[in-house]
Amino acid sequence: MSCRFFQADINKAALRGAYAVDSAALPNGALRRTYTRLPGQPNAPVSQLTVVQQGNVAQEVAATIEQSNPLFSAEKQLRFQLQNGQLSHYEVMGTQKLVLFDTLHYAAAGQVE
């Protein structure tokens, strides 16, 4: 499932200015940054990306990715958690819809020991 997480990359040069950023300090001292796609950005598949970090170390990353064209639509929710800079948990959930076919729902999760 790790191949899905690279789709949440919003650091591409073509996506500069495509996201609004909101930052909030959490009670435990961590910082949550949420990047939300601005209207009129059809080339930006990530609709929202949230990063929770303690200092300079990420603790959790969550993203919603949407794709749509006349024949196909899909939405994926990706989330992974880190502990001491190491992957500890991941989740991928989503739906796919092809014209003339039923909607497919899927989910996968893993715990790293």
The tens digit of pLDDT for each residue in 22-54 reads 999 999 999 999 999 999 887 888 999 999 999
In the DSSP assignment, the letter for residue 42 is T
Max Cα-Cα span within the chain:
49
pLDDT confidence tier of residue 6, bands split at 50, 70 and 90? low
63 alpha-carbon distance from chain centroid? 1
The tens digit of pLDDT for each residue in 62-102 reads 999 998 888 999 999 999 999 888 899 999 999 999 998 99
How high is the pLDDT of residue 2? 42
